[in-house]
């Protein structure tokens, strides 16, 4: 591309760091919020156990707008969309800090999510189009380093700000980073445009209605709303899913081609991702609440306790390729999914009397197992797609991940709500962990359908989550 020829050496050096700013903002925001939820709930006069909507609204918005990012960058240019995305994320952060109700906070998180959905995909798209294949991996690694640090420092920063200042600063901290991101992005981000393809508006509308109705169905159930409303929303979800399937089979370029599911490893990867994350994704949301709401620990202590999970995830990434080469995808995913479920069930035995010498290694193991799980699932999902299918397959996988996170958090919240009606808060958490663990173990059945040789073509390459 001529964009590549015109880029100066300075821009080549700075581009990965521009992308790194976006990645840092997204991962820091995701990891910093969970420890602050009880403090936010108190200020907004809400129950801490009803705060999952602040997390779900962001994750769901990411899922909905990720497919739009490529279309908008092709039409308006990568620089314009990237700077606009950082602006929306920064604006959303400011509005979150100004929130005086849970509804206002949820709306602000949606604005944040629109920006977050485009920041990282667009910055990665620029790296793909600007760097030669031989230089791309190094550029991508540079852009992801700050993002990997975010989950390690985020919970501690969140706990510290809540205890020492106010919860508002967990959002205000994004403002200077966002301003720097906009300035650097406008100055150094190339405005690359692509072929203007027709966007599948009807398909997008069907997907939006499907996702939102499914999430709201669980959300209303978790708040103890009229169960008939939850049922209507669940039926709406299924209905529009079938409408999309019917529609996508009759148009030339649907948002997500059904032909993707003709690839067995893709279909199993998507299903495995969805069902295993249904149990796994609720854990990072529930642990800070368990420590603060049920056990009465401080936000700082809860944040520190999440560090072992992040470190375990970070360290495991270096061992994933060797593990997959040695045992293969099928065996790793079956055994690892079962281990993940067992570790989640083990959390049900944690009590205020549990020593940190036991809790820290347990959380480290959970972080390690989760890292292996996510990396393995993601890579096997894309393993056998053709070159023409990779873009839409990768987009659908990213959407599926965020949707699974939303469902996992909502499912965990529903369990706490329903069980908590009849028992103590601590026992509700314990039973929730047992159910989430059992669900995770059962989801290993999906990976049993993989063949022994599946993914062998990938085991000589580096794997990234």
Across the range 246-274, mean pLDDT stands at 90
> DSSP H helical segments within 131-200, as ranges?
133-164, 169-172, 174-188
Tell me the per-residue pLDDT of 57-109, one tens digit each, with 9 for 90 and over: 888 888 888 888 878 887 888 889 999 999 999 999 999 999 999 999 999 99
More confident residue, 440 or 388: 440
Distance (Å) of CA 129 to CA 1, 193, 196, 275: 8, 10, 16, 34
Q: How far apart are CA 133 and CA 136, in angstroms?
A: 5
More confident residue, 77 or 129: 77
Q: Are 116 and 58 contacting, i.e. CB atoms less than 8 angstroms apart?
A: yes
Tell me the per-residue pLDDT of 377-401, one tens digit each, with 9 for 90 and over: 988 888 888 777 777 787 888 888 8
- pLDDT at position 413 is 85
pLDDT at 187 exceeding the cut of 80: yes
Q: How far apart are CA 378 and CA 398, in angstroms?
A: 9
Tell me the per-residue pLDDT of 417-428, one tens digit each, with 9 for 90 and over: 888 888 888 999
Q: Count of CB atoms within 10 A of residue 115's CB?
A: 26
Across the range 188-210, mean pLDDT stands at 83
Q: Model-level pTM?
A: 0.83
Reduced to 3 states (helix: H, G, I; strand: E, B; else coil), residue 7 is coil
Q: How far apart are CA 312 and CA 76, in angstroms?
A: 40
Q: Are 210 and 63 contacting, i.e. CB atoms less than 8 angstroms apart?
A: no
pLDDT at 4 exceeding the cut of 50: no
More confident residue, 219 or 203: 203
- pLDDT at position 196 is 64
Write down the mean pLDDT value for the chain: 85
DSSP 49: G
Q: Give the residue from 286, 306, 281 showing the smallest Cα distance to 407.
A: 281
Q: Give the residue from 369, 386, 412, 383 showing the smallest Cα distance to 281.
A: 412
- pLDDT at position 5 is 40
């Amino acid at each position: 591309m001529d964009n590549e020829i015109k880029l100066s050496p300075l821009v080549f050096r700075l581009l990965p760091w521009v992308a790194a700013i976006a990645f840092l903002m997204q991962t820091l925001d995701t990891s910093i919020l969970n420890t602050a939820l009880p403090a936010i709930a108190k200020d907004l006069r809400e129950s801490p156990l009803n705060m999952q909507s602040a997390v779900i609204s962001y994750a769901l918005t990411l899922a909905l707008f990720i497919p739009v990012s490529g279309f908008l960058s092709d039409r308006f240019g990568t620089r314009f969309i990237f700077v606009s995305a950082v602006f929306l994320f920064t604006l959303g952060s400011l509005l979150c800090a100004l929130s005086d109700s849970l509804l206002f906070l949820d709306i602000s998180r949606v604005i944040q999510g629109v920006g977050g959905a485009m920041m990282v995909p667009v910055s990665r798209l620029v790296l793909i189009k600007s760097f030669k294949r031989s230089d791309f991996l190094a550029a991508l690694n540079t852009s992801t380093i700050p993002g990997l640090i975010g989950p390690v420092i985020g919970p501690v920063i969140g706990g510290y700000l809540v205890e020492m200042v106010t919860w508002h600063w967990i959002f205000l901290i994004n403002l200077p980073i966002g301003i720097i991101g906009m300035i650097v992005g406008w100055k150094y981000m190339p405005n690359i445009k692509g072929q203007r393809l027709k966007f599948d508006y009807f398909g997008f509308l069907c997907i939006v209605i499907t996702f939102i109705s499914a999430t709201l169905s669980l959300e209303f159930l978790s708040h103890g709303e009229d169960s008939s409303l939850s049922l209507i929303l669940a039926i709406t979800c299924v209905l529009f899913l079938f409408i999309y399937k019917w529609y996508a089979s009759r148009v030339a370029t649907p948002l997500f081609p059904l032909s993707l599911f003709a690839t067995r490893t893709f279909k199993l990867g998507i299903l495995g991702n969805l069902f295993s994350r249904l149990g796994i994704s609720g854990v990072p949301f529930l642990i800070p609440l368990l420590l603060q709401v049920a056990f009465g620990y401080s936000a700082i202590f809860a944040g520190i306790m999440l560090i072992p999970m992040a470190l375990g995830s970070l360290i495991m990434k270096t061992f994933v390729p060797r593990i997959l080469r040695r045992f293969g995808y099928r065996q790793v995913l079956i055994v690892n999914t079962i281990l993940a479920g067992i570790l989640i069930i083990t959390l049900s035995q944690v009590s205020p009397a549990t020593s940190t010498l036991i809790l820290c290694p347990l959380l480290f193991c959970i972080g390690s197992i989760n890292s292996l799980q996510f990396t393995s699932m993601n890579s096997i999902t894309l393993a056998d797609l053709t070159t023409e299918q990779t873009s839409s397959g990768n987009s659908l996988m990213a959407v599926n991940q965020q949707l699974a996170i939303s469902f996992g958090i909502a499912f965990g919240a529903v369990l706490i709500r329903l069980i908590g009606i009849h028992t103590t808060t601590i026992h509700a958490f314990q039973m929730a962990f047992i159910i989430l663990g059992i669900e995770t173990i059962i989801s290993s059945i999906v990976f049993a359908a993989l063949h022994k040789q599946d993914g062998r073509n990938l085991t000589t390459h580096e794997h990234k989550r």
